[in-house]
Amino acid sequence: MPSSFLLDRLIVPGWMARTWNFHTLSGVQILGVPAEDLLWAFTVGAVWASLYEVLMGYRMTRTHRSHGLLS
């Protein structure tokens, strides 16, 4: 994620400052990335993993497991 911010700054300098409302954010940045953006990316990633499995029809199945230590 931070690499895309750096790449955007190199390719199109000033684009983020013109399009993002940084004054409405908390002001907390991690490696130059707003904390809200990192939180959004983490949340979407966490939700997408489960949503993908549902959309693709994956289901939980029971497996046979032995209950002994060495069996």
Within a domain: 31: yes
* pLDDT at position 13: 81
Rounded to a whole number of angstroms, the CA Rg of the chain reads 21
- Interatomic CA distance for residues 17 and 13, integer angstroms: 9
pLDDT tens, position by position, 14-71 = 877 787 788 888 988 887 778 888 898 899 988 988 899 889 988 877 776 666 666 5
- In the DSSP assignment, the letter for residue 20 is S
Number of domains in the chain: 1
| pTM, full prediction | 0.57
- 33 token code pair: 């990335």
> Which single residue is written with the structure tokens 């069996």?
71
Within a domain: 7: yes
Within a domain: 61: no
Print the domain residue range for 14.
2-55
